[in-house]
Chains A and B, each alone.
Chain A
Amino acid sequence: MTLEAAKLAAANNLWGAILPELMLAGVALLLLALEIFLPRRQHAVLPDLASAGILGTLLGLCLNWDSGMLGAETFGGLLYHSTSGQLLRAFFLIAAFLTCVIARLTLARQKMPRVEFYHLLLIVTAAMMLLAQTNHLLMLFVTVETLTIALYVMVAYHRTSPASLEAGLKYVLMGALSSGLLLFGITLLYGVAGNPSLAGHAARPFHYADLAAFLTANPNHFLASLGIVLVLAGVAFKIGAFPFQIWVPDVYQGAPTPVTAFLAVASKAAGFAVLLGLCGPGAVFSAYAWLTTPVLTAMAAASLLFGNLAALTQHNVKRLLGLSGVSHAGFLLLGVVAAGATPMALGAIYFYLFAYLLAAFAVFGVMAHVAGPDDADQELDHYAGLAKESPFLAGVLTVGLGSLAGIPPLAGFMGKLFIFLAAFQAGARALLAVAIVGVVISIYYYFGWLRAAYFETWTPPADAAAGPTRPARTPVGLLAGVTLGALALASIVIGFYPGPLGHWLAMR
């Protein structure tokens, strides 16, 4: 069936619908080819080529925003093109570009082949972009697997570092488990929806619309509920929501910093893209809101509390960011819960994701400058005296962490505000109370980080062998400086003047 759909698409010249993804894949293959054919001393140009490819794709996407396919299904219903999908495509491209900027810094400190990294990054990005538009459970699984397998390699990329290998192994095990759960859930849904003896059985049980029609006809089927819960569990791994967050701290710490950033932002957003496609307003599982709403509510509350409480005691900033990311997932889940009741929640989630992107990459960018060759060794103490040594990095860190904490006038505050408003309108007051407790707890650790940067001073140990040492800071280069400055500025501008973006996202 799928093959025929592809043939049909080729005949109808529908490949243009996935031109951005094809472009990325083309650049990815080009990178590998050039690595073979270019002389070694010219390899330095390849990372630039990857960044340029991403930016070019982004530009093309923006120029061709309303591609004439919005609201249409292509490839026999495998993909559905919507404004949200375009938005997420742009989101993943921006995240990939920022990851490239950080990777140029950190990979330069390693004796590692670099080209494969960018190759994998492009592949993952393309998979995520397809994921954002998937309209089919099989397509969903294929894209999730593509990005997960590529991420296995990226997490374990520092193959001489035990921490990175440990992280890779943990991510493989947990990822395999989550893929298994997801696939089992999909199988169950396929099985019941395709059962001709049940009312309203679907001709195409993988297809979102057919599946939704079947679920509406059978709103209390046990196997279908089991399938839905398993699919949600599989997705919860991706977003790092409680109780599937156990891999987060170790993997975040061990993975190379750019990969951690990409995991924290893009992978989480991909999970939410799936979740919104399945549990959003009028989506596939909406007939089972009686089941998904309590499950998501419990996950949101637990993620908010667990993420924040666990982050309190962390000394390693990557673990801290990972656990605080769990609480951000909780916040976004709060939005997903509200999305069933109010259409505004959808825009609120996208706004939150964009604010999170700006803030998280600003913080990861600063981390890349402060850390040394060992990416896993990034302690809070290393930030002591940062404000005196590099006011620029300290300023960017302040904006980034402030935005993550949700302090006005930064973008993160507006994101939280929109989520709050949506939750209020949806009447999720108990969850809102948990979220407020979470925000107050989070202030403690975000502020603790800033306290290290501003209030504490670093005295190098008299005897280098005896005392603790810390890595030398990397000077801020032009590209990184401009990017970090732009990220911080964007956080401030969007916080002060959320109008255009907010209007575009939330009030559509």
Chain B
Amino acid sequence: MRTLPFDPLLAAIAFPLASALVIACGLPKRWSVRLAYVAFAVPLLLALHTWWHFDASPKVAGYAFLTQYSTGLDAVGISLKLGLNGIAMPLFLLAGLVGFAAGLYALQSQAERLKLYLLLLLVMQGGLMGVFASVDILFLYFFHELALIPTFIMVGVWGGRDRAYAAMKLTIYLTLGAMLSLAGLIAIYARSGANSFDLMALREHLSRFPLDQALQGNLFGLLLVGLGILVSLFPLHTWAPLGYGAAPSSNAMLHAGVLKKFGLYTLIQVALPLLPAGHAAWASPLAWLAVLGNVLIIGLVTLAQRDLKQMIGYSSVMHMGYAFLGIATGTAVGVGGAVFLMVAHGLSVALLFLLATSVHHRTQTFALDEMGGLARPAPVLAAFLVAATFAGIGLPGFANFWGELAVFVALWQFSPAVTAVAVAGVVISAIYGLRALARVCFGPATPRMEEVAARQPPVDLRWSERVPALVLLLALLGLGFWPRAISDPIHAALAAPATAAAAPSAR
């Protein structure tokens, strides 16, 4: 394996942050834009590098590319430890891909105050790379918050309808979720007795001295509520459609596509291996809540949406239900399916938000009832939209298919009743997806559309929009046809004895 002369993980985190700092120090706009192109591309290239060399690189307890930097707080067990295991690597890659696409889309967006917009996106990008590269759970949280702050500002400044209200609600909900998660993480640290936030040390310590059952249950419950708010677990989801409806496109892509996965990722990486008894106690309630709340109720709510962006927001809440179901099973197949689904959903929802904004530029509206016949003037846009919708539904050939399949297979062993409801959800998602597609692209143009077209004839997807969309679509197709690219590392990480949680039975 060829090694880079520097730590690729640290570079992927630091480069966007340093670029943001340079832009903040008053780089002229022309140079800021050029720097941003590089700063969005570097994390992607480094993520591809780690993905390519992941199998061949030496690993410690499943972690490759391990490095540790002292923070001076070693006495309380806080150090910046970076590394990727089989679960983190695909999400690291996802963050690179979606970040690149969101960055390119932002660069062509002609947003007001473009420099500040790029700066905040770069901070977000740096934070996201850090989330999935951190082995230290305090830094995991730290980078998540770092990536979260720009969201609040971006929704408030560049947001659409109700932006002030949406920004406020988003901030309060997500802060509450983050604070509860932090309390849970600190509680694990304080109660474990390992005197370390290092996930590897915690796993090692807690596999020998597990916490008692009741405490595990309480801590898992605390983390589930805190992280559940962040991942929009029913009934704590109401911020999500509102926030995504208002958020500017690139921010929505990064938040819905990548940042939101933090909650699931923490459940999988931290809660599952460290609190197996807690997971066993919560598996059944979690499965029923996810399938009845997120999949069924939110699925039906999504059906009722008349607004394209709100619909995508709700559908993203719904799909999180499947990831929760995979986690509830606790088996390598189910959790692995959840990780695969997280990657696939991240790519597809980012693509949908991107295309929705491109549609809006041509129709001047998000209202589904006012659109129609966009396929004739904009065939490429329509083609992308068809592909993205199919990916969202989970058609074979797209990455989402494998994730959902693995979750369903594992879920059948867990509880056939839950599986039946979950599969019914797929039908719901097919109905709203296809109906929205039909509304936007096909059928006769509505009077309002003709009015808009008369003022400003809709053009097809420009190349500056096609490239980011193509990056996401190719990744979706690539994983759809070659799932082993990430499924092998995921499986290896989950099948390792240190992380294998006993499969609980449904009650």
CA gap between A491 and B477 in the complex, in Å: 45
The one of A402, A447, A506 that contacts B76, using a Cβ cutoff of 8 Å? A506
CA gap between A413 and B143 in the complex, in Å: 12
**A446-486 residues at the B interface, CB under 8 angstroms:** 447-448, 450-451, 454-455
**B240-291 residues at the A interface, CB under 8 angstroms:** none
Q: Are B175 and A443 in contact (CB under 8 A)?
A: yes
CA gap between A12 and B183 in the complex, in Å: 53
The one of B76, B142, B153, B172 that contacts A443, using a Cβ cutoff of 8 Å? B172
Q: Are B175 and A507 in contact (CB under 8 A)?
A: no
* B68 smallest CB distance to A (angstroms): 13
In the complex, A344 has a CB within 8 A of chain B: yes
In the complex, A283 has a CB within 8 A of chain B: no
Contacts A436-B179, A436-B180; is A421 near B186 (CB within 8 Å)? Answer: yes
In the complex, A500 has a CB within 8 A of chain B: yes
**Residues in A whose Cβ lies below 8 Å from that of B1:** none
In the complex, B75 has a CB within 8 A of chain A: yes
In the complex, B395 has a CB within 8 A of chain A: no
**Residues in A whose Cβ lies below 8 Å from that of B182:** 417, 420
Contacts A498-B71, A507-B73; is A407 near B149 (CB within 8 Å)? Answer: yes
CA gap between A421 and B187 in the complex, in Å: 9
CA gap between A451 and B168 in the complex, in Å: 9
In the complex, B497 has a CB within 8 A of chain A: no
**A425-452 residues at the B interface, CB under 8 angstroms:** 425, 432-433, 436, 439-440, 443-444, 447-448, 450-451
In the complex, A290 has a CB within 8 A of chain B: no
CA gap between A344 and B76 in the complex, in Å: 9
* A149 smallest CB distance to B (angstroms): 41
**Residues in A whose Cβ lies below 8 Å from that of B75:** 503, 507
Q: Are A451 and B186 in contact (CB under 8 A)?
A: no
CA gap between A503 and B146 in the complex, in Å: 23
In the complex, A499 has a CB within 8 A of chain B: yes
CA gap between A451 and B24 in the complex, in Å: 20
CA gap between A436 and B167 in the complex, in Å: 21
Q: Are B142 and A454 in contact (CB under 8 A)?
A: no
In the complex, B145 has a CB within 8 A of chain A: yes
* B276 smallest CB distance to A (angstroms): 22
In the complex, A60 has a CB within 8 A of chain B: no
In the complex, B164 has a CB within 8 A of chain A: yes
**A392-443 residues at the B interface, CB under 8 angstroms:** 395, 402, 407-409, 413, 417, 420-421, 424-425, 432-433, 436, 439-440, 443
The one of B72, B145, B163, B168 that contacts A408, using a Cβ cutoff of 8 Å? B145
Q: Are B145 and A439 in contact (CB under 8 A)?
A: no
* B77 smallest CB distance to A (angstroms): 10
In the complex, A497 has a CB within 8 A of chain B: yes
Q: Are A421 and B190 in contact (CB under 8 A)?
A: yes
**Residues in A whose Cβ lies below 8 Å from that of B183:** 420, 432-433, 436
CA gap between A310 and B156 in the complex, in Å: 25
In the complex, B110 has a CB within 8 A of chain A: no
Q: Mark B154-168, 1 if CB is under 8 A from A, else 0.
A: 001100000110011
Majority-rule SS of B interface residues: helix
In the complex, A240 has a CB within 8 A of chain B: no
The one of B72, B146, B156, B176 that contacts A451, using a Cβ cutoff of 8 Å? B156
* B55 smallest CB distance to A (angstroms): 33
**Residues in A whose Cβ lies below 8 Å from that of B73:** 498-499, 502-503, 506-507
Q: Are A451 and B71 in contact (CB under 8 A)?
A: no
CA gap between A454 and B168 in the complex, in Å: 13
Q: Are A507 and B76 in contact (CB under 8 A)?
A: yes
**B172-201 residues at the A interface, CB under 8 angstroms:** 172, 175-176, 179-180, 182-183, 186-187, 189-190
**B112-147 residues at the A interface, CB under 8 angstroms:** 138, 141-142, 145-146
* Number of CB contacts from chain A to chain B under 8 A: 85
CA gap between A439 and B76 in the complex, in Å: 23
User: Closest chain A residue to B72 by CB distance?
Assistant: A499
**Residues in B whose Cβ lies below 8 Å from that of A499:** 70-73
**Residues in B whose Cβ lies below 8 Å from that of A436:** 179-180, 183
CA gap between A503 and B79 in the complex, in Å: 12
For chain A, the count of residues having a C-beta within 8 Å of the partner chain is: 33
**A75-133 residues at the B interface, CB under 8 angstroms:** none
* B27 smallest CB distance to A (angstroms): 14
In the complex, B171 has a CB within 8 A of chain A: yes
* B57 smallest CB distance to A (angstroms): 28
**Residues in B whose Cβ lies below 8 Å from that of A413:** 142, 145
**Residues in A whose Cβ lies below 8 Å from that of B175:** 439-440, 443
The one of B71, B72, B163, B187 that contacts A455, using a Cβ cutoff of 8 Å? B163
In the complex, B152 has a CB within 8 A of chain A: yes
Q: Are B164 and A425 in contact (CB under 8 A)?
A: no
Q: Are B171 and A447 in contact (CB under 8 A)?
A: yes
User: Closest chain A residue to B190 by CB distance?
Assistant: A424
**B70-114 residues at the A interface, CB under 8 angstroms:** 70-73, 75-76
**Residues in B whose Cβ lies below 8 Å from that of A421:** 76, 186, 189-190
Q: Are B149 and A402 in contact (CB under 8 A)?
A: yes
Contacts A424-B186, A498-B72; is A409 near B168 (CB within 8 Å)? Answer: no
Q: Are B168 and A425 in contact (CB under 8 A)?
A: no
* A393 smallest CB distance to B (angstroms): 14
User: Closest chain A residue to B191 by CB distance?
Assistant: A424
* B84 smallest CB distance to A (angstroms): 22
Q: Are B145 and A407 in contact (CB under 8 A)?
A: yes
Q: Are A444 and B149 in contact (CB under 8 A)?
A: no
**Residues in B whose Cβ lies below 8 Å from that of A395:** 24
**Residues in B whose Cβ lies below 8 Å from that of A409:** 142, 145-146
CA gap between A497 and B142 in the complex, in Å: 12
Q: Mark B297-324, 1 if CB is under 8 A from A, else 0.
A: 0000000000000000000000000000
The one of A344, A439, A451 that contacts B164, using a Cβ cutoff of 8 Å? A451
CA gap between A425 and B168 in the complex, in Å: 33
Q: Are A447 and B146 in contact (CB under 8 A)?
A: no
Q: Are A440 and B172 in contact (CB under 8 A)?
A: yes
* B442 smallest CB distance to A (angstroms): 38
CA gap between A499 and B328 in the complex, in Å: 38
Q: Are A455 and B156 in contact (CB under 8 A)?
A: yes
* A391 smallest CB distance to B (angstroms): 8
CA gap between A223 and B163 in the complex, in Å: 59
Q: Are B171 and A420 in contact (CB under 8 A)?
A: no
Q: Are A420 and B149 in contact (CB under 8 A)?
A: no
**Residues in B whose Cβ lies below 8 Å from that of A402:** 149
User: Closest chain B residue to A402 by CB distance?
Assistant: B149
Q: Are B180 and A408 in contact (CB under 8 A)?
A: no
Q: Are A455 and B172 in contact (CB under 8 A)?
A: no
* B123 smallest CB distance to A (angstroms): 10
CA gap between A439 and B172 in the complex, in Å: 10
**Residues in A whose Cβ lies below 8 Å from that of B142:** 408-409, 413
Q: Are A503 and B72 in contact (CB under 8 A)?
A: yes
CA gap between A417 and B190 in the complex, in Å: 12
* A313 smallest CB distance to B (angstroms): 15
**Residues in B whose Cβ lies below 8 Å from that of A455:** 156-157, 163-164, 167
Q: Which of A420, A454, A499, A506 has its CB near the most chain B CB atoms (within 10 A)?
A: A499
* A266 smallest CB distance to B (angstroms): 27
* B317 smallest CB distance to A (angstroms): 22
**Residues in A whose Cβ lies below 8 Å from that of B157:** 454-455
11 more A-B contacts (CB under 8 A) besides A432-B183, A500-B72?
A407-B149, A413-B145, A420-B186, A421-B190, A424-B186, A436-B180, A439-B179, A447-B168, A448-B168, A503-B75, A506-B76
Cβ contacts A to B, 20 pairs, < 8 Å: A344-B76, A408-B142, A417-B182, A417-B186, A420-B183, A424-B187, A424-B189, A436-B183, A439-B179, A440-B172, A440-B175, A440-B179, A443-B171, A444-B172, A447-B171, A455-B157, A499-B71, A499-B72, A503-B72, A507-B75
Top-5 shortest CB links A-B: A499-B72, A424-B190, A507-B75, A408-B145, A503-B72
